[in-house]
Amino acid sequence: MTEKVVGYEKRSTAGRDKISDHELDLPPVVYESVGLWFEPPQSAIAGLLQEKRHPMGSLHASEHASLALIPLFALCDRNDLGGISFTRHAGTGGAAVFLYDGHPGGLGLANRAYAVLDELFMRVLKMVRDCPCEDGCPSCVHSPKCGHGNQPLDKEGCIRLLEHLTGGPELKADETLAELTFGTEGNAQTKPLGWPGSERGSHSERSEESRGSAPTENERSLQKTPRMTNEETGDTEMNEAQNSKKYESQTPFCEGRDIVVYDLETQLSANDVGGWQNIHLMRVAIGVIYERKTGKYLVYREEDCEALIARLEQAELVVGYNNKRFDNTVLTAYTDHDLRGMNNLDLLEEISNRHGFRMKLDALAQATLNAKKTADGLQSLQWWKEGEVDKIIEYCKMDVEVTWKLFEYMCEHGYALCERKGELAKLPVELPLKRIMGEPDLFSGLM
């Protein structure tokens, strides 16, 4: 599991009215735990649609209500548990609700819930059905720690789903709707069910960020990849013709534009400066900029930071990987300029915003470009201590090259690749280049 606290709210102690929101920039907490999941059959999800219920809202509500009653069967607090719901999960091939222990290694809570699952569902159904509220409330399907503000929730859909799971009135759809929803052979379509506007059709209570992988370089022919999975839906061998809108390459839009890709290596680690909240104290060891227009690499040392920042501010687009949170923050120690004013494009941020989880650069590049790194940030720190500056420069150049090639690939194809259970999965991402840079000035350079 990956947990990240992204902010907090101030509320009135009297009426619980919201006063303000406050963002936090804290490092994620990653741990392994134990959980269980249940998979409503596809026919039940289609049945919810036929009854004009909200599939994600129904799953989401059943998740909240189940987590609320597990403490009846196990010695724990509601905060010891976490949950996440999917209308379509790549691993299960359909809808799924996961309930897990919110502590490293697990506490046996999910094991206990699994042992009494039938009774748990019966209790949950009774609680939700007997609650006098109309659309859901804190006494039945609301959760005080929901990462999505208790949206969407469908109380009536939750009741129907639980009735189906406990042997009550069956949820089913006519063949036409089931075929439209899942295809003639039960295969999931490329759109997530029941949550208009959702990118993944998923919800996480514990700010799921998630998953990394491994290393980077060189282009791979898509025809040679094994079974390809669409990370948004779990569909195998996604048919491009199913997409309602064909992706249009953004590479022509980039031609002739002053686009730079950059990366920094630091002198100090997070431990050296007292934690990730002190990124600005890490000090620049080496900075490398790649100019897309000229094909040149520019190398900067700590004493050159003023020139490095000036070059970044001059560019039409500054591309990086985690550059908004890390690299730009390191540079704030060398300028009083607000670097958020630059035309920044953070590839990690674009993936995280679209799919709800983060990935290591080397993992993404390994899958997308078949490229492999020969070192890492810890090795760079060791080289700095040993005075091996030339090795740091080469390593930093390699990181910039990988980021540049990944950017080019995403511009051309509209997605990157990642590895999931031995298969390559697509991560669709349409980079917002026109929004950030605007249309090119056709008269620039003319006298």
Terminal-to-terminal C-alpha distance of the chain = 58
- Please, are residues 244 and 377 in contact by the beta-carbon 8 Å criterion? no
Contacts for 307 with CB less than 8 Å, ≥ 6 apart: 300
pLDDT of residue 149: 81
pLDDT of residue 205: 41
Choice among 1-15, 70-84, 262-276 with the minimum mean pLDDT:
1-15
Whole-angstrom distance, CA of residue 49 vs CA of residue 58: 11
pLDDT of residue 176: 56
pTM: 0.50
Mind listing the pLDDT tens digit for each residue in 267-311? 999 999 998 899 999 999 999 999 999 999 999 999 999 999 999
Percent of the chain with pLDDT over 70: 82
Architecture of the domain defined by 251-437: 2-Layer Sandwich (3.30)
Half-sphere exposure of 332 (CA within 13 A, CB side): 15
Label residue 240 by pLDDT band (50, 70, 90).
Answer: very low
Per-residue pLDDT averaged across 207-225, rounded? 32
Nearest to 290 by CA among 401, 412, 433: 401
Per-residue pLDDT averaged across 185-198, rounded? 36
pLDDT of residue 326: 95
DSSP state of 280: G
Contacts for 291 with CB less than 8 Å, ≥ 6 apart: 258, 259, 260, 297, 298
pLDDT of residue 423: 82
Per-residue pLDDT averaged across 411-434, rounded? 88
Half-sphere exposure of 222 (CA within 13 A, CB side): 12
CA distances from 118 to 64, 90, 160, 374 (A): 17, 26, 16, 51
Q: Return the higher-pLDDT residue of 103 and 123.
A: 123
Whole-angstrom distance, CA of residue 413 vs CA of residue 276: 34
Type of residue at 445: G
Label residue 106 by pLDDT band (50, 70, 90).
Answer: confident
Tell me: pLDDT of 105 over 60.
Answer: yes
Whole-angstrom distance, CA of residue 173 vs CA of residue 50: 6
Q: Return the higher-pLDDT residue of 208 and 109.
A: 109
Tell me: pLDDT of 236 over 90.
Answer: no
Choice among 47-56, 75-84, 232-241, 409-418 with the minimum mean pLDDT:
232-241
The three-state DSSP-derived secondary structure of 242-259 is HCCCCCCCCHHHHCCCCE
Type of residue at 440: P
Q: What angle do CA 330, 432, 439 make, to 5 degrees?
A: 105
What's the chain's average pLDDT? 82
Q: Domain segments of the chain: what residues?
A: 2-204, 251-437
pLDDT of residue 31: 79
Label residue 104 by pLDDT band (50, 70, 90).
Answer: confident
Tell me: pLDDT of 185 over 90.
Answer: no
Per-residue pLDDT averaged across 255-266, rounded? 95
Per-residue pLDDT averaged across 421-434, rounded? 86
Label residue 179 by pLDDT band (50, 70, 90).
Answer: low
Tell me: pLDDT of 339 over 50.
Answer: yes
Structure tokens at 101: 């222990």
Tell me: pLDDT of 180 over 60.
Answer: no
- Please, are residues 223 and 421 in contact by the beta-carbon 8 Å criterion? no
Label residue 120 by pLDDT band (50, 70, 90).
Answer: very high
Radius of gyration of the chain (CA): 25
